[in-house]
Amino acid sequence: MLRGILAIGLLGLPAVHPGHPAPPPAITVNERVRHQEIDGFGISQAFRRNELLKALPAAKQREVLDLWFHRTKGAGLSILRLGIGSSPAGSPYDHMVSIQPEDPGGPDAPPKYMWDGDDNSQVWVAKEAKRYGVERFFADAWSAPGYMKDNGDDKNGGTLLPEWRRAYAKYLVAYTQFYAEEGIKITDLGFTNEPDYTAPYASMRFTPEQAAEFVKVLGPIARDTNVVCCDSFGWREAKAYTAAIEADPEARRWVKTHTGHTYASPVDGPLPTSRKTWMSEWNPSGNTWNEAWDDGSGYDGMTIAKAVHDALTLGNVSAYVYWLGGSRGETRALLQLDDEAGEYHVSKRLWALAGYSRFIRPGAVRLEAGAADPALKVSAFRNRDGSKVIVALNTGTAPVEWTGVRGRASAYVTDEARSMAPVSVGRGAVTLAPRALTTVVIR
C-alpha cells in the first residue's frame, strides 16, 4: 500500500533521522485513491457572442481563439457549449434564431427546418475549436420555439405543451444533424436551461418530474448523443432534478450526464448520482469589467480559481463550463470583446481557469490530495499519458515551500503580476507563492 502512496504522495517529506520525527509534507497525493474521470473544461459563446469575435480583425480573432483553445498559448479548453436557438427570424441581438421559427402546422405536421450553415457564427467557432483538438460539443436549448409552449413565446418561461414533446425532441436532434453536415459531432445534448427560473430572454419551465418525463421521449430519439439534464439555476436546486431522474429507471437509462449551474447556490457536494456531473454554467456577479487577480471584488481571478477547485473536489464534477468566453461591455466573461474598437482585453479569470484546463486533459482521473497548511487548496490528477498535475491555490499571505517533488517537473504560477508564468523547480522544490495559483506538472 505504501508503495503507491510514496510514488506520488508524501511529496515533500525530508529524510527521516532517528529521534527527529519528520514534519508533515506540504502536499500529499495518494494515487491509490481515485475519484472522478475528467471530461474537460469549456466555455459557451451562446446568444450571438461569436458575432463580436467575428467583427474583430482576423489577427485579433486568431489571438482570441488561441487564448481559448491553444494548449501552450492559452487555456487549452476542451468543451464548447452551443446555444440551440428558439427565436423567430429577424430577432434583435442577443436572441438565437430557431431552425424552425414558424409553426409547421401542428405537432404532427412535417417539419419545416431551416439551416443557414452559420448558426449565429457558432458553426465557425465550432470548426475552429475542432482544429485545436476540441472533441466535446455540448448543444443546449434555453427554450422550445414559442408555438410549442403554453405561453406562445420563447421568452418569459412557460412550459412545453404535452402534444409537442415528440416534435420538440425531433427538433433538437435535427439541430445535431445539421452540425454533423458541417463536420461537427454534437456529443452532448441538453433540452433545458435553468428550468426553475423564468427569464425575460429565452427560457422554459420544467419541474423535476416533467424533466424526467421528457427525457423518456428524447432519449430513444437521440440515441447517438449523450442526453444531458437539467442545468438547474443552482447546484443545490439541481439535486432535485437529478433525484427525480434517478428515481425513474427509464429516465435514468437515458441521461448520461447530470448538470447544474451555481448562481442560486454554490457547489457544496456531489449530485445524487453515480453518473458523471458537470458544472455547466456560471460567472460571478459584478458591475464592471475587471482584469484583477486578487482585489476582493468577488469576480477576480482568485474567485474563479476557488470556484473551480470546489467544483472538482467538493462536487466531484467531471467538467467545468464557464459563462462566457468573451462578451462586450461590463462583462464577467473571460475576455472583453470590443467590436467597435477592434480590440479585446484579457481578465485574470481566464488564467485562473487555464491553471486547471491547460494541463488536466480529458480522460484524466482526480487523485486524493491534501495539504498540511489549511491555506492551500490542492487537487491532483493523473492524465492518460501518465503525467500528474497538482494544482495548488495558496489563499494565505505566506509562501509555502514544497520539497521532494519527484520526476521531470515543470511549474506555472498566476498571481497579480504573472499569468501562467514558468517558475523554477530547483532540486525537487517548488515555492507556492502567496495569494497565487501554482500548477505543477510531473512527467
Q: How far apart are the first and last CA of the chain?
A: 22
Classified as helix, coil or strand, 52 is helix
Whole-number Å distance between alpha carbons of 275 and 81: 20
Task: Give me the residue label for grid cell 427546418.
Answer: 113
- Residue 95 is predicted with a pLDDT of 74
Are the C-beta atoms of residues 421 and 412 closer than 8 Å to each other?
yes
Interior angle at CA 417, CA 413 and CA 420, nearest 5: 30
Cα angle for residues 68, 72, 75 (degrees, 5° grid): 30
- Please check whether residue 230 is in contact with residue 238, taking contact to mean a CB–CB distance below 8 angstroms: yes
Phi, psi torsion values for 55, nearest 5 degrees: -80, -15
pLDDT tens track, the chain, 443 positions: 233 333 344 444 444 455 556 678 899 999 999 999 999 999 999 999 999 999 999 999 999 999 999 999 999 999 999 999 987 665 555 678 899 999 999 999 999 999 999 999 999 999 999 999 999 999 999 999 999 999 999 999 999 999 999 999 999 999 999 999 999 999 999 999 999 999 999 999 999 999 999 999 999 999 999 999 999 999 999 999 999 999 999 999 999 999 999 999 999 999 999 999 999 999 999 999 999 999 999 999 999 999 999 999 999 999 999 999 999 999 999 999 998 999 999 999 999 999 999 999 999 999 999 999 999 999 999 999 999 999 999 999 999 999 988 889 999 999 999 999 999 898 889 999 999 999 999 99
Between helix 208-221 and helix 165-181 the angle, nearest 10°, is 50
Angle between the N-to-C axes of helices 301-313 and 348-357, in degrees from 0 to 180, rounded to the nearest 10: 30
Q: How far is CA 34 from the centre of its chain?
A: 21
Q: Are 149 and 159 in contact, with CB atoms under 8 Å apart?
A: yes
Greatest Cα pair distance in the chain: 86
Q: How far apart are CA 379 and CA 361, in angstroms?
A: 14
pLDDT for position 19: 58
Q: How far apart are CA 429 and CA 440, in angstroms?
A: 11
Distance CA 70, CA 243 (A): 38
Are 283 and 324 in contact by the 8 Å Cβ rule? The answer is: yes
Summary count for the chain: helices (H), strands (E): 10, 20
CB 436 within 8 A of CB 394: yes
In contact, 113 and 100? CB cutoff 8 Å = yes
pTM for this entry: 0.94
**Rounded alpha-carbon distances, angstroms, from residue 65 to 68, 132, 165, 188, 284:** 5, 9, 37, 22, 23
Length of the chain: 443
Q: What was the pLDDT predicted at 24?
A: 82
Q: Indicate the SS3 state at residue 28.
A: strand
CA distances from 322 to 80, 202, 210, 319 (A): 10, 19, 27, 10
- Specify whether the CB–CB gap between 334 and 384 falls below 8 A: no
Give dist(CA 221, CA 208) in Å, integer. 21
